[in-house]
Amino acid sequence: MADITLALFERAIKTTATTVLRNEHYFSDLDGLAGDGDFGTSLATGFRVIDADLPTIDKSAIGAMLLKISMLCSKHVGGSSGPIWGTGFMKAAMVSKGKESVTLTELAEMIQSAVDGIMARGGAKLGDKTLLDALIPIAETLNAAAASGTTDHAAVLKNCADVAEKAIDETRTLVAHRGRASQVGERSANTPDPGIVAIATILQDWCKEWGIARTPTVAELLQATA
């Protein structure tokens, strides 16, 4: 199978912006259950700029495009999410510097590097009830897929969407230790983390965009993809 091209990354970013803008209010509502209720607006403020700038930003290479996305996240995504999402895109950009397409192995390296960067930037780890609880199993899924030598990229994307959706329920009863939700401690127990829901929603929408049949079951994902 062909490598993963810059055009596919651009389409994924465009789809992500649509997802984030559609869920501006819903993601903020979810954040309001345990946090300060700004997550959806923070993310949408950044992705509104990304959506507008995407047609004209530097597309000489995947890394160049993602570096620009990183800068737009850092500048325009509000709250604690700006540096987190900015760091993730920056780390992925460094691995894909100068490349017009990447292999599945290189994509796995990009996501692993983003995860490592976000962990270092935010000081969170697995089980702290942040978006890392979705991103870490996604990175593991990609690493395993790359190691297996599979060429079925659609199946790999579906597997990533599966682990992201699973993370919503697996972390629901945890108390947040990092991010804004940690400031309310026990109040965060039994509420979904909005960052995890956002990652799962983005992956579900990518599946839909590429015609991969996948039916969500978790309530928040059904709501966010409706």
Footprint of Mg ion (CB under 5 A): 31, 35-36, 38-39, 180
Residue with CB nearest Mg ion? Answer: 35
Query: What does each C-alpha distance from 224 to 17, 80, 130, 205 come to in angstroms?
Result: 14, 22, 18, 10
CB of 202 to Mg ion, least distance (A): 18
Nearer to Mg ion, 21 or 61 (CB): 21
Nearer to Mg ion, 11 or 48 (CB): 48
Radius of gyration of the chain from its Cα atoms, rounded to whole angstroms: 16
Q: Which residues contact 56 (CB under 8 A, 6 or more apart)?
A: none
CB of 195 to Mg ion, least distance (A): 9
Amino acid identity of 119?
A: M
CB of 17 to Mg ion, least distance (A): 20
CB of 38 to Mg ion, least distance (A): 4
Task: Report whether 181 contacts 196 (CB < 8 A).
Answer: no
CB of 37 to Mg ion, least distance (A): 6
Nearer to Mg ion, 146 or 199 (CB): 199
Nearer to Mg ion, 133 or 162 (CB): 133
Nearer to Mg ion, 38 or 51 (CB): 38
In this structure, how many other beta carbons lie within 10 angstroms of the beta carbon of residue 173?
11
Q: Is 226 exposed, middle or buried (0-12, 13-18, 19+ CB in 10 A)?
A: exposed
Quote the CA–CA distance of 80 and 62 in Å, as a whole number.
Answer: 26
